[in-house]
Amino acid sequence: MGGGDGGEDSVVHFVFVHGASHGAWCWYKLTTLLAAAGFKATSVDLTGAGINLTDSNTVVDFDQYNRPLFSLLSDLPPHHKIILVGHSIGGGSVTEALCKFTDKISMVVYLAADMVQPGSTSSPHDSAMTVGEEDIWELIYGEGADKPPTGMLMKEEFRRHYYYSQSPLEDVTLACKLLRPAPLRALNGADKLAPNPEAEKVPRVYIKTAKDNLFDPLRQDRVVEKWPPSQLYILEESDHSAFFSVPTTLFAYLVRAVSFLQL
């Protein structure tokens, strides 16, 4: 199913979108596994993330934040469709891309992610953050202390517990060097989409992370109940960052999910 012999267009192509503060880098295990199995796998840095050169404190709207993903999708050759995978708040970017580039996407996958139906609003009880009020976040005031905060970054001492409790220590060490502040103002624009019946026709997969200390599995259940996906998988041993904690199981689930597509 991976590497086709019918030319570039027949290859199953995964595109990965990171969550807050992360970058294309966090998908290194998955993109390696998929490429070795003959799939095409691309991961993108949203504006102000990873090695994107923009200062995240200057990113003010959600479209600006998502622009690198939109560019990638609009540059795809005609008839080339991708499987779009989003992690955590990156699910909001995936839904936005799904609505804008519906004909470029054959499946969307939400990994421990924000998955809100276009046209509905996320209630704080269902999918928005619960840990937001705790003192685990450092706020960044990029426009001065007298102005509203522009960025948000989890304090280093909480990262192992909330992001990476089941992940290898060397990945935690590397991630701590690479995380960047999340653009608060841009993320406020997530999930503000008009109803979109065409986008709803695209098969949707949810992958739940059962040992997640950040996005509580019960809250993930409510996200799934509110907008039921066509396939649901559960990563029993995963923390919030399945790409580090259970990459091979995640890889297997992705391959199984796409096997149901008529390509």
CB of 21 or CB of 106, closer to ligand L4G6TZI2 = 21
Confirm or reject binding of residue 136 to ligand L4G6TZI2 (CB under 6 A): no
Say if strands 105-111 and 82-87 run parallel, antiparallel, or are unpaired: parallel
Within 18-77, the residues that bind ligand L4G6TZI2 by CB under 6 A are 19-22
Confirm or reject binding of residue 152 to ligand L4G6TZI2 (CB under 6 A): yes
CB of residue 231 to ligand L4G6TZI2, shortest distance in Å: 19
Cβ count within 10 A of residue 120: 13
CB of 19 or CB of 247, closer to ligand L4G6TZI2 = 19
Label residue 1 exposed, middle or buried (CB < 10 Å: 0-12, 13-18, 19+): middle
CA–CA dist 249, 243 (Å, integer) = 9
User: Per-residue x/- mask for ligand L4G6TZI2, residues 90 to 109, rule CB under 6 A?
Assistant: --x-----------------
User: Per-residue x/- mask for ligand L4G6TZI2, residues 7 to 26, rule CB under 6 A?
Assistant: ------------xxxx----
233 within 8 A of 245, measured Cβ to Cβ: no
Within 185-204, the residues that bind ligand L4G6TZI2 by CB under 6 A are 187-188, 190-191
Catalytic: 212?
yes
Residues 6+ apart with CB under 8 A from 150: 56, 57, 58, 140, 141, 142, 143, 181, 183, 184, 185
Catalytic residue among 88, 93, 165, 167: 88
Catalytic: 9?
no
Confirm or reject binding of residue 239 to ligand L4G6TZI2 (CB under 6 A): no
Q: Which of residues 89, 193, 235, 258 is near ligand L4G6TZI2 by CB under 6 A?
A: 89
CA dihedral 153, 154, 160, 161 (to 10 degrees): -150
Catalytic: 5?
no
Catalytic residue among 45, 191, 212, 239: 212
Q: Give residue for tokens 């995936």.
A: 94
Confirm or reject binding of residue 129 to ligand L4G6TZI2 (CB under 6 A): yes
C-alpha separations of 255 from 39, 56, 101 in Å: 9, 33, 23
Confirm or reject binding of residue 184 to ligand L4G6TZI2 (CB under 6 A): yes
Q: Give residue for tokens 């969550």.
A: 19
Q: Mark 140-155 as b/e (b = at least 16 C-beta within 10 Å).
A: bebeeeeeebbbbbbe
Helical spans, DSSP H, in 140-232: 156-162, 169-178, 184-187, 197-200, 217-226
Choose one: 49-57, 63-71, 100-108, 125-133; the region binding ligand L4G6TZI2 (CB under 6 A).
Answer: 125-133
Confirm or reject binding of residue 113 to ligand L4G6TZI2 (CB under 6 A): yes
227 within 8 A of 108, measured Cβ to Cβ: no
Where in the sequence numbering do the catalytic residues fall?
A: 88, 212, 240
Residues that bind ligand L4G6TZI2 (CB under 6 A): 19-22, 88-89, 92, 113-114, 122, 127-132, 152, 154, 182, 184, 187-188, 190-191, 214-215
